[in-house]
Structure 1
Amino acid sequence: MPDLQSRELEIRYEASDQFVPILQHLNATLLVSTYKLGRVAVLQPGVSSSGNGKLSVQFRAFPQAMGIAVSPDRLAIGTSRSVWQFERPRGVAIPDRDGRLSKVAYLPRRQHITGNISIHEMAWQVDELWAVNTLFSCLCTFDDSHNFVPRWKPTFISHLRPEDRCHLNGLAMGPSGPTYVSALGQGDRQGSWRDDKLNGGCLLDVASSEVVLAGLAMPHSPRIHDGHLWYLHSGHGELNRVDLQSGQSETIDRVPGYTRGLSFAGQFAFVGMSQIRETNVFGGLPIGQNLDALRCGVAVVDLVSGRSVAWFQFKCDVEEVFAVEVVPNSTPLVLHSPTLEDDDKEVWVVPPLPS
């Protein structure tokens, strides 16, 4: 159970025996954002003094870190008032804190000021970054002239207003653009999603604006994977799969946490888990009936067996997880903060001088 000092903050964590072997098998790194703590955790296999695999955990500071979008060449992290974009320089290996040369390095390149739009999930559609703008109840993109560019809103939302009317929160990206979103309600007035947190949630088809599923308890993180629509039924702590032809929803596994943040790699689903403390927001949910058993971390669900086979857990100071993103074929990975932290060294990537 390691202890980590990060800017005078002690963060304690532990992982099950199979967590690191699964990351090693996938040759993957896991990025986990925690908005109240203001950190993005970088979880990957490390090397112990005995040469055996151990878990390497590094924390990067971002104010109110929420959505994370990963592509082969880019990374984006949504924060309280801006979106940071990172690029992966090809042919450049940067040492990590253990002295290993990185296979993947994401370096900060630009910051886009959004203002406080309560940004939630984000995803890349080729080179274009889409985001869930929760405060304005819409999907948006970004350009150089505006804080955000509204691109889509649910048909039941009459006007773009900074009122968080339906708590739009999750985004499933397909090859041609956004396909499904999740929302906690279908109301059209400020904060109306709070009226029915137990049954007001829904999944929406972006192209048709039709409701795919309704009557949900605070759903999050819709995804398209292996030809199916998946989502997290957060109020029940479930990972669910939808048969799009029949419209039926099937529970694949239930984990001990408020589920939010979902990513797939190989036969595994990585599911974010949070504890719930704020009764004004989470009161009355089914998952709240056993608060002491709830964990904050990541559960690894084997999609073949339909059960959890590994987990990572924060032990103190961290009560919530927002985004969980797998970066495949990336070990070791280096993520540089916009500002240098701890033992970071300055890095310059420059082209050769013209001859």
Structure 2
Amino acid sequence: MEAIVSTDDAMDGELDFTSHTSSNFPAVLAGLKLSLAVTSYQAHKLFFVRSDGKKIDINFKDFPRPMGLAVTPQQITLGTLHQVWRFRRSDAALDLVSETLAEKTAADACYVASACHTTGLVNIHDIAYGNKGLWIVNSNFSCLATLEPDYSFVPRWKPSFISDLLPEDRCHLNGMAMLDGEPAYVTTFNQSDVAKSWRDGVKDLGTLIDVKTGELKLSNLVMPHSPRCYNGYVYFCESGHGLVRRYDPRTGDVVDVIKLQGFTRGMDFFGPLMFVGLSKTRNSSVAEPAPIAQESAESESGIWCVNLTDHTVVGFVRFEGNIDQIYDVAVLPGVMYPELFLPDDEQSMTVFNFPPLTDSALAKAGVTK
């Protein structure tokens, strides 16, 4: 089954893209009343995977190197090349959705640019909301950080083996799992304190680290990404093997959930289902290819839906063309057909959000009627 592509929102460069889905995937999304937000840093795209129950629609938005996603009921936050953007849900803006889109189907949620923080080139990876606001994985400085207006970032934690906060991407700290509002686990490619050592080194030195204790929980992982705490377990991608794995912090046991034909990265959950991103293997500046690339000449890109009860594939959407690298995947529950206005869109400039002017506000400002 093919999907519809909303080309009116494509980036300025040529978009070479098609997609195919399992026959049930449109009905799966519609039946669950959800859509997916996905980032592809290689294609400079944030996009939504939407369904009307019969077909999939892929709606693209252009950003420089979009990476981590953090979703709450009222906003979508996106980390990009050197900025973090927040988009506030504003369904009043639905009236401004283009007539072209309205003819295809009615959008049921709208997100409007509301804030931006410039971080500089920190090589942002995972992002997530916690008790101290938005946490980011600052891969360039090998640390976890939060954001404050007066600073590019505020360092909050680093692995014990990292001696200095320098923009050297020493261990490729990339993934972050939150638990009870605090970072709980991170993934790294190695435990080196040498600039960009992970690019030229062996592939099986990856780690899963307990943030609170600094304890190394798992080692000898191959290019791990996307740790997520869910239902008492820590799920993570051992990307170099095309695996999604499950770590039990109570027993230390590790179970392989599923092996897919590609580089696993990006993960979110809904009930008993897991949505995981899959990227094609590729040539890069990393010296030695991942094992998954050596196992098969063919690899796939897309989003796979997996049943966590029996570890089977429920459905999928597969991408072809130049959307071949997926970084993050986020579920938008209760939203079937989202629309997002870019910061420079005219619609973003004509949607306003402000509290009422009350007598108490006037009095606090020292103003009398």
Under a length normalisation based on structure 2, what TM-score does the superposition of the two structures give?
Answer: 0.88
Q: Do structure 1's residue 220 and structure 2's residue 261 form an aligned pair?
A: no
Residue 304 (structure 2) aligned to one of 289, 299, 302 = 299
Deviation at 1:339, TM superposition (A): 2.5
Q: d(CA) in 1 for partners of 2:241 and 2:46?
A: 25
Distance 1:159 1:279 in 2: 27
Listed one character per residue, the Cα deviations across residues 208-236 of structure 1 (whole Å, up to 9, x for unaligned) are 01111001000000001111111001011
Is residue 329 from structure 1 mapped to residue 330 from structure 2 by the alignment? no
Match of 1:49 in 2: none
Of 316, 322, 330, the match for 1:317: 322
Partner SS state of residue 19, structure 2: strand
Unaligned runs of 5+ in 1: 47-51
1:88 paired residue number: 89
Q: Partner residue of 2:344? A: 339
- Corresponding position of 1:30: 36
Aligned position for 1:115: 120
Partner of 1:12: 18
**Partner residue, 2:153:** 148
Q: Which residue of 1 aligns with 2:110?
A: 105
How far apart, CA to CA, are the structure 2 residues paired with 1:265 and 1:307? 15
Please, what is the CA RMSD of the aligned residues? Answer: 2.2
Q: Is the 8 A contact 2:201 2:287 kept in 1?
A: no
Contact 1:94 1:101 in 2 (8 A): no
Runs of 4+ in 1 over 6 A off after TM superposition: none
1:28 is aligned with what amino acid?
Answer: L
**Residue in 1 aligned with 2:79?**
78
Is the 1:230–1:241 Cα contact (8 Å) retained in structure 2? yes
Kindly provide the amino acid, as one letter, of the partner of residue 78 in structure 1. G
Q: Deviations over 1:132-190 (max 9, x none)?
A: 00000000111111111111100110110000000000010112311111110100010
CA–CA distance in 2 between the matches of 1:200 and 1:94?
A: 52
Counterpart AA for 1:349: F
Name the CA shift for 1:184/1:28 in 2 (closer, same or farther; >3 Å). Answer: same
SS of the counterpart of 2:16?
Answer: strand
Instruction: Give the stretch that moved more between structures: 84-93 or 200-209.
Output: 84-93
Q: What is the rounded CA distance, in whole Å, between the counterparts of 2:270 and 2:95 in structure 1?
A: 25
Partner of 2:47: 41
Q: Distance in 2 between matches of 1:184 and 1:335?
A: 34
Q: CA deviation at 1:95?
A: 6.0
1:229 aligns with 2:230: no
Secondary structure (helix, strand or coil) at the match of 2:310 reads coil
How far apart, in 2, do the equivalents of 1:291 and 1:106 lie? 40
Match of 2:176 in 1: 171
- Deviation string 1:244-302 (CA, Å, 9 cap, x unpaired) is 12212110111111011011112111111111212542734220124432101111111
Larger Rg: 2
- Determine the C-alpha separation between the residues in 2 that align with 1:132 and 1:186: 16
- Alignment check: 8 A CA contact 1:122 1:132 kept: yes
**What number of residue pairs does the alignment pair up?**
348
Distance 1:333 1:3, change over 3 A: closer
Structure 2 residues without counterparts, runs of 5 or longer: 359-369
Contact 2:200 2:287 in 1 (8 A): no
CA-CA distance at 1:312 after TM superposition: 1.1
CA deviation string 1:81-133 (max 9, x = no partner): 11111112366645652355543322111111111110001001157110000
TM-score, normalised to structure 1, is 0.91
- The residue type paired with residue 271 of structure 1 is V
